[in-house]
Structure 1
Amino acid sequence: MGTVLSPDYPEGYGNNLNCVWLIISEPGSRIHLAFNDFDLEPPYDFLTIKDGDQSGATVLGRFSGAEVPSHLTSNSNVLQLEFQADHSMSGRGFNITYTFGRNECPDPGVPLNARRFGDSFQLGSSISVVCDEGFIKTQGTDTITCLLEDGKVMWSGLIPKCEGNNTGRGKNNK
């Protein structure tokens, strides 16, 4: 876990800046960014966040202004934060904390009309879903497991869906 602050935060950053931060976690893990404070002069000063190393980086977002961006999670174990400021005016800057998702799958949520068992999303852990009474599983399996596939951490299948049982409909009840 760590923090990335713009130069001289919160006193306001200088002019003509071009700063790059590289956050690297262990292979297979992801990096989560939480924006605690954000204030850059729009549209001239901006923060670009790139996922991956120099050659194959994809831009996850480019932010300016005073709207605090929502959480971001990398798809790889490398994140680049590039901050550029022009020759005039500045804002307060930014305060970003980062944590490493140690080989964690995203929270699959709790399906409607069901109960979920298991709260660990770590690599290798499983979650099972039991449909409430009167509902049947229409998607997925009883249990999904967090796996590493092609260098990405993902669930072994779709989170199950539980829907109303259609018995009694369309039948001729005498």
Structure 2
Amino acid sequence: MGTVLSPDYPEGYSNNMNCVWLILSEPGSRIHLAFNDFDLEAPYDFLTVKDGELLDATVLGRFSGAESPSHLDSNTNILRLEFQADHSMAGRGFNITYSTFGHNECPDPGIPINAKRFGDNFQLGSSISVICEDGFIKTQGAQTITCELDNGKVMWSGPIP
């Protein structure tokens, strides 16, 4: 598990940046990214996430502005993050945490705020349930999700609650 921060986060990054991070995990495992905070000057500054270490690796996503995915999973044991900023204006930057998981397991879905999670096994075929504390309602995702094989990829059966 670890964290990737843009330079000088959260004070804002400098102009004319070109940064590359490689996240390496054990062979046979995969990498899960959680975007905790994201603010880049759209559309001129952007973060590209690639599946593998090579320059021409498959692009999993290219992100700019204040919108970012909440989660992203690699298909290999290496992720390449490329951050580019132009000559003017800058945002707050980004704060991304990563964790690793095996080929026959789903990424840790975490525990939502004001909720309880039942189930700590993320292996293929296992399920977890999330129940909100009194006074709170579920705003996204299913109450129960199962780790399953979908088109050759191991993933949760629905959005993480």
Which range moved further: 28-37 or 97-106?
97-106
8 Å CA contact 2:39, 2:66 repeated in 1: yes
* SS of equivalent residue, structure 1 residue 3: strand
8 Å CA contact 2:103, 2:154 repeated in 1: no
Q: How far, CA to CA, are the matches of 1:78 and 1:84 in structure 2?
A: 20
Q: Structure 1: which 4+ aligned runs deviate by more than 6 Å?
A: none
What is the Cα-based RMSD across aligned positions, in Å?
2.8
- 1:121 is matched with which residue? 122
Report the alpha carbon displacement of residue 67 of structure 1 after superposing the two structures with TM: 1.4
Structure 2: which amino acid aligns with 1:4?
V
- 2:9 is matched with which residue? 9
Distance 1:59 1:14, change over 3 A: same
Report the alpha carbon displacement of residue 40 of structure 1 after superposing the two structures with TM: 0.2
- 2:26 is matched with which residue? 26
The answer on 1:44 being equivalent to 2:44 is: yes
Report the alpha carbon displacement of residue 55 of structure 1 after superposing the two structures with TM: 6.0
Aligned residues: 124
Q: Which stretches in structure 1 are left out of the alignment for 5+ residues?
A: 108-117, 129-144, 160-174
Q: How does 1:37-76 map to 2 (within 5 A)?
A: 37-54=37-54, 57-76=57-76
> Which has the larger Rg?
1
Report the alpha carbon displacement of residue 153 of structure 1 after superposing the two structures with TM: 7.1
Report the alpha carbon displacement of residue 86 of structure 1 after superposing the two structures with TM: 0.3
Q: How far, CA to CA, are the matches of 2:148 and 2:86 in structure 1?
A: 44
Q: How far, CA to CA, are the matches of 1:78 and 1:97 in structure 2?
A: 15
How high is the TM-score relative to the length of structure 1?
A: 0.62
- 1:106 is matched with which residue? 106
| Cα deviations by residue, 1:24-58 (Å, 9 ceiling, x for unpaired) | 10111110000000000000000000001306610
Q: How far, CA to CA, are the matches of 1:97 and 1:46 in structure 2?
A: 18
Q: How far, CA to CA, are the matches of 1:56 and 1:14 in structure 2?
A: 26
8 Å CA contact 1:105, 1:153 repeated in 2: no
Q: Which stretches in structure 2 are left out of the alignment for 5+ residues?
A: 108-118, 128-146
Distance 1:87 1:25, change over 3 A: same
Q: How far, CA to CA, are the matches of 2:85 and 2:44 in structure 1?
A: 7
How high is the TM-score relative to the length of structure 2?
A: 0.67
* SS of equivalent residue, structure 1 residue 105: coil
